[in-house]
Amino acid sequence: MFSRDVTLIDIERLDRVTAKAVETFQMDEDTFRAFYDRTARPVWVYLARITGDRSLADDLLQESYYRFLRAERRFTSDSHRCNYLYRIATNLAHDRHRRSRHVINVAVPAEHEPTALVDNQDVAADAVRRTDLGRAMAQLKPRERELLWLAYAHGSSHEEIAESLGLRKASIKMLLFRARRRLAALLGGGTRAKGTSA
Amino acid sequence: MATSRDLRAGDHVASCAICTDVLAVAAAMRADSDAQWQHANIPSSGQVWWRAEMRARQEAIRKASRPITIAQGVAALLALALTGTAGWFAWTWLRDQAPPLGFASVSAQALTSPLALASVVALGALVVMAPVALYLVLSDE
């Protein structure tokens, strides 16, 4: 309602303002591209698994990198940078989960997924295994999914997991133990440790 | 070829519930991760950078435009307050001039009541501001 004609001075001022906005990014374009090429795929896979929704993972991936670029933080190492990125991704997934409270979709293989496997039986077995894991993961809490994924799929250390999820390092071991036990029971491959020692 | 160390490790796993769980979970997660990895269709780095750049620019424009809108809003409120004040003074002057202008038949008490007075002032402000507001709205088009 209160708009007015835009003048050349306005355009010049807005150009300066927008250029400044990009200058505040965490890194320049070349550095970002290298970082992205290194980290995007594992982050996407992580998001796809903890949310159970590939299209949601696409959205959250873009949002995660945008927030990472706008973060006003200093990083001591590349590992620190990666952990922070995972933390952003995890928080975004949590926010979305709280807002939607939707049932986690089972990540069944897409109809026209390309596969390098030659044997059709291997393809079917692979699909069944992934479906079983998807169903089992859907029954876990979001925190449990994140812990397990970072530990066993991504190979993160307890310290890295603590940094990524915003938890205390001392609590990771017990949380991981419980989550692992639960998933193993759901997968039906683990044995209950009742009375048996390690 | 299985070494004796492998065989001992295998024996341990078979008898250890914790290690059995670890193996089961780790194997399933790794296999799933590898499969997801192959089929992940992620945008290119250039695409992501470009989108981030555009979004940052748009947010900066919105932020820069905010003071202008606030200033215009404050100016409009001030104009309204001034109109109201002018209307109040005009009304008190008119009321003082009431007998010569033939307002004696009107109930002076009713017109001097706060509610009636506020209504008259608001009406006066509306009469003045309405054309201005219309101009501002229609001038966008």
Q: What percent of chain A has pLDDT over 70?
A: 73
* Cα Rg of chain B (Å, integer): 39
Phi, psi of A26 (to 5 degrees): -55, -35
B87 vs A36: which has the higher pLDDT: A36
The more confident residue out of A120 and B19 is B19
A66's CB contacts (< 8 A; 6+ apart) are B51, B52, B55, B56
DSSP state of B43: P
Query: Nearest-CA neighbor of A134 among A154, A109, A107?
Result: A107
Q: Which pLDDT value is given to residue B82?
A: 79
A89 and A170, same structural domain?
no
In the prediction, which pLDDT does B93 show? Answer: 73
Partner-chain residue, chosen from A21, A48, A61, that has the shortest CB–CB distance to B57: A21
User: Between A123 and A33, where is the model more confident?
Assistant: A33
Show the tokens assigned to B115.
């509610």
Tokens of A152: 């066993």
pLDDT value, residue B109: 53
Cβ B48 vs Cβ A62: under 8 Å: yes
Q: Is the pLDDT of residue A121 over 70?
A: no
Residues from chain B contacting residue A113 (CB–CB below 8 Å): 39
pLDDT tens per residue, chain B (141 residues)? 545 555 556 667 678 888 888 888 888 888 888 888 887 889 999 999 999 999 998 888 888 777 666 777 777 788 778 777 877 777 777 777 655 555 554 555 555 667 667 766 777 777 777 777 777 766 654
Q: Within this chain, do residues A71 and A154 fall inside the same structural domain, yes or no?
A: no
B48/A44 Cβ within 8 A: no
> Can you tell me which residue has the tokens 């989108």?
B51
With a cut of 90, say whether residue A91 has pLDDT above it. Answer: yes
Q: d(Cα A81, Cα B27) in Å, to the nearest integer?
A: 28
Q: Which of A56, A86, A105 is the last residue of a domain?
A: A105
User: Is A158 found in the same domain as A101?
Assistant: no
Chain A segment 47-86 residues within 8 A of B by beta carbon are: 48-49, 58, 61-62, 65-66, 69-70
Predicted pLDDT of residue B98: 57
**Beta-carbon separation of B17 and A193 below 8 A:** yes
- Determine the Cα–Cα distance for residues A84 and A164; give it in Å rounded to an integer: 6
Consecutive H or E run containing B66? helix B45-96
Note whether residue A117 is domain-resident.
Answer: no
**List of long-range contacts for A90-94, beta carbons under 8 Å, 24+ apart:** A90/A50, A90/A146, A90/A164, A90/A165, A90/A166, A91/A166, A92/A60, A92/A63, A92/A64, A92/A67, A93/A47, A93/A50, A93/A51, A93/A60, A93/A142, A93/A146, A94/A142
A84 and A161 co-located in one domain:
no
The shortest CB-CB distance from B37 to any of A45, A70, A129 is to: A45
Mean pLDDT throughout A30-55? 92
**A38-47, A90-99, A124-133, A184-193: range with lowest mean pLDDT:** A184-193
Last residue of a domain, one of A86, A105, A124: A105
A129 located within any domain: no
Helices assigned H by DSSP within A120-168: 120-138, 142-148, 158-165
What is the per-residue pLDDT for B116?
67
Q: Which residue in the block uniquely carries the two structure tokens 């590898």?
A: B34
pTM score, two decimals?
0.64
A14/A66 same-domain check = yes
The number of distinct structural domains making up chain A is: 2
Between A169 and B100, whose confidence is greater?
A: A169
Chain A interface mutation, best of B19, B41, B42, highest count of A Cβ atoms under 10 Å: B42
Domain that holds residue A172: 139-198
Q: Does one domain contain both A94 and A168?
A: no
**What's the rounded Cα separation, in Å, for the pair A47 and A58?**
8
Band (pLDDT 50/70/90 cuts) for residue A15 is: confident
Q: Which residue of chain A has the CA closest to B36?
A: A45
- A158 and A88 within one domain: no
What type of residue sits at position B127?
Answer: V
pLDDT at A66 over 90: yes
Of A36, A70, A191, the CB nearest to B45: A36
Same domain, A81 and A38: yes
A interface test, pick of B11, B20, B32, B61 with most A CB neighbours within 10 Å: B32
What tokens were used for A73?
Answer: 């933080």
Asked whether residue A50 falls in the same domain as residue A147, the answer is no
Flag the least confident range among A55-64, A116-125, A137-146, B23-32: A116-125
Question: Domain coordinates of chain B in residue numbers?
Answer: 66-139
Burial class from Cβ neighbours inside 10 Å (0-12, 13-18, 19+) for residue A57 reads buried
Per-residue model confidence (pLDDT) at position A116? 44
CB contact under 8 A, B49 and A191: no
